[in-house]
Structure 1
Amino acid sequence: MEASATKTAMVPPGNALALGFTGTLGNIDSYISAVNRLPMLTHEEEMSLARRLRDQNDLGAAQGMVLSHLRLVVSIARGYLGYGLPHADLIQEGNIGLMKAVKRFDPDQGVRLVSYAMHWIKAEMHEYILKNWRLVKVATTKAQRKLFFNLRSHKVGLDSMTPAQVDALALVLNVKREEVVEMETRLSGRDIALEAPTDDEDDKFAPIAYLSSDRNEPTNVLEALQYDRLQSEGLSQALGKLDDRSRRIVESRWLANDDGSGATLHELAKEFGVSAERIRQIEVVALKKMKGTLTAFE
Structure 2
Amino acid sequence: MAGTSQTPPEELGGGLNRDDRADSATETFVAHRNLLFTVAYELLGSAADAEDVLQETWLRWVGVDLDSVRDQRAYLVRITTRQALGRLRTLGRRKESYVGPWLPEPLLTAPDVAEDVELADSVSMAMLVVLETLTPTERAVFVLREVFDLDYDEIAEAVDKSPAAVRQIAHRARAHVAARRPRGVVSPAETRGALEAFQRAVETGDLQRLLDMLAPDVVLLGDGGGIKQAALAPVVGADRVVEVLGRIAATASLEPAQVNGHPALIVRFDGEIDGVMAVRIDDGLITGLYAVRNPEKLSRMEQETALRR
Q: Which has the higher helix share?
A: 1
Structure 1 length as normaliser, TM-score? 0.30
Greater relative contact order: 1 or 2 (C-alpha under 8 angstroms, separation 6 or more)? Answer: 2
Structure 2 length as normaliser, TM-score? 0.30
